[in-house]
Chains A and B, each alone.
Chain A
Amino acid sequence: MNASIGVGPRRRGTHPVAWWGWALLLATAASRTANPWLLLLIVAVSGLVVTWCRGDEPWSGAYRVFLLIGATAIAVRMMFYIVFGGAEGTTVLFELPSIRLPEWAAGFRLGGAVSAEGALAAVWDGLRLATLLVCVGAANALASPRRLLRSVPAALYEVSVAVVVALSVAPQLVSGVARIRRARALRGNMSRNPVNVMRTVVVPVLHDALDRSLALAAAMASRGHGRAAGVPTATRRATSASLLIGLLGLCAGAYALLGTATPAPAAWSLLTLGAAAAVFGIVFASRRVPHTRYRTDVFGPRDWAVLLSGAAAVAGTVLSGMAEPGTIWPATSPLAAPPLPLYAACGVLIAAAPAVVAPTRTRTGTG
Chain B
Amino acid sequence: MIHFDRVSFRYEDRLILDDVSLDVPEGEFCLLVGTTGAGKSTLLRSVNGLVPHFTGGTMTGEITVAGRSVRTSSPADLADVVGYVAQDPLAGFVTDEVELELAYTAEQLGLPQSSMRKRVTEIVDLLGLADVRGRDLAALSSGQRQRVAIGAALVAGPSALVLDEPTSALDPGAADEVLSALHRLVHDLGVTVLLAEHRLERVVQYADSALLLQDGKVTAGSPGEILATAPVAPPVVRLGTLAGWPGPPVTIRQARRAAAGLRERLADRAPAEAPAPVGATLLEASGVTVDHPGVRAVDGVDLAAARGERIALMGRNGSGKSSLLWALQGTGRRTAGSVSIAGEDPAGLKPGRRRVLAGLVPSEPADLLYAETVAEECAGADRDGGAPAGSCAKILADLVDGLDDGAHPRDLSEGQRLALALAVTLTAAPPLLLLDEPTRGLDYPGKAALTGRLRALAETGHCVIVSTHDVEFVAEFASRVVILSDGQVVADGPARDIVSASPMFAPQVEKILPGRLTVGEVADALEGIDADDDAE
- A residues with a Cβ closer than 8 A to B are 1-2, 4-7, 10, 56-57, 144, 146-147, 149-150, 154, 157, 179-180, 182-183, 185-190, 199-200, 203-204, 207, 212, 215-229, 289-295, 366-367
Nearest CB in chain B: distance from A287 CB, A: 12
Taking a contact as CB atoms under 8 Å apart, the answer to whether A183 and B367 are in contact is yes
User: Assuming A227-B108, A227-B109, is B93 touching A146 (CB within 8 A)?
Assistant: yes
Residues in B297-336 with C-beta less than 8 Å from chain A: 326, 329, 331-332
**5 A-B pairs whose Cβ atoms sit less than 8 Å apart in the complex:** A2-B131, A6-B134, A180-B367, A219-B94, A221-B75
Taking a contact as CB atoms under 8 Å apart, the answer to whether A215 and B108 are in contact is no
Taking a contact as CB atoms under 8 Å apart, the answer to whether A7 and B75 are in contact is no
User: Assuming A146-B94, A187-B424, A215-B88, is B134 touching A294 (CB within 8 A)?
Assistant: no
Q: Which of A222, A226, A295 contacts B50 (CB 8 A)?
A: A222
A182→B368 CA distance, assembly (Å): 9
Give chain B residues whose Cβ lies under 8 Å from the Cβ of A6: 97, 133-136
Give chain A residues whose Cβ lies under 8 Å from the Cβ of B471: none
Taking a contact as CB atoms under 8 Å apart, the answer to whether A292 and B76 are in contact is no
A183→B316 CA distance, assembly (Å): 24
Interface centre among B96, B359, B364 (most CB of A within 10 A): B96
Taking a contact as CB atoms under 8 Å apart, the answer to whether A293 and B107 are in contact is yes
Give chain B residues whose Cβ lies under 8 Å from the Cβ of A222: 48, 50, 75-76, 78-79, 82, 84, 86
A350→B66 CA distance, assembly (Å): 59
Nearest CB in chain B: distance from A208 CB, A: 8
Taking a contact as CB atoms under 8 Å apart, the answer to whether A4 and B131 are in contact is yes
Q: Which residue of B lies closest to A227 (CB)?
A: B76
Taking a contact as CB atoms under 8 Å apart, the answer to whether A189 and B384 are in contact is yes
Whether a CB of chain A sits under 8 angstroms from the CB of B14 is no
Question: How many B residues face the partner with a CB closer than 8 A?
Answer: 80
Whether a CB of chain A sits under 8 angstroms from the CB of B501 is no
Q: Which residue of A lies closest to B110 (CB)?
A: A290
A129→B401 CA distance, assembly (Å): 53
Q: Which residue of A lies closest to B116 (CB)?
A: A294
Taking a contact as CB atoms under 8 Å apart, the answer to whether A5 and B136 are in contact is yes
Q: Which of A147, A204, A219 contacts B370 (CB 8 A)?
A: A204
Give chain A residues whose Cβ lies under 8 Å from the Cβ of B113: 292-294
Give chain A residues whose Cβ lies under 8 Å from the Cβ of B139: 5, 366
Taking a contact as CB atoms under 8 Å apart, the answer to whether B425 and A186 are in contact is yes
Taking a contact as CB atoms under 8 Å apart, the answer to whether A228 and B77 are in contact is yes
Give chain B residues whose Cβ lies under 8 Å from the Cβ of A10: 134
Nearest CB in chain A: distance from B30 CB, A: 19
Residues in B1-56 with C-beta less than 8 Å from chain A: 48, 50, 53-54
Give chain B residues whose Cβ lies under 8 Å from the Cβ of A366: 139, 294
Taking a contact as CB atoms under 8 Å apart, the answer to whether A223 and B355 are in contact is no
Interface centre among A157, A179, A183, A186 (most CB of B within 10 A): A186
A121→B53 CA distance, assembly (Å): 51
Give chain A residues whose Cβ lies under 8 Å from the Cβ of B425: 186
Taking a contact as CB atoms under 8 Å apart, the answer to whether B76 and A188 are in contact is no
Taking a contact as CB atoms under 8 Å apart, the answer to whether B74 and A221 are in contact is yes
Give chain A residues whose Cβ lies under 8 Å from the Cβ of B107: 291-294
Taking a contact as CB atoms under 8 Å apart, the answer to whether A186 and B105 are in contact is no
Residues in B244-297 with C-beta less than 8 Å from chain A: 293-295
A87→B152 CA distance, assembly (Å): 60
Q: Which residue of B lies closest to A204 (CB)?
A: B370
Give chain B residues whose Cβ lies under 8 Å from the Cβ of A223: 76, 79, 94, 104-105, 108, 152-153
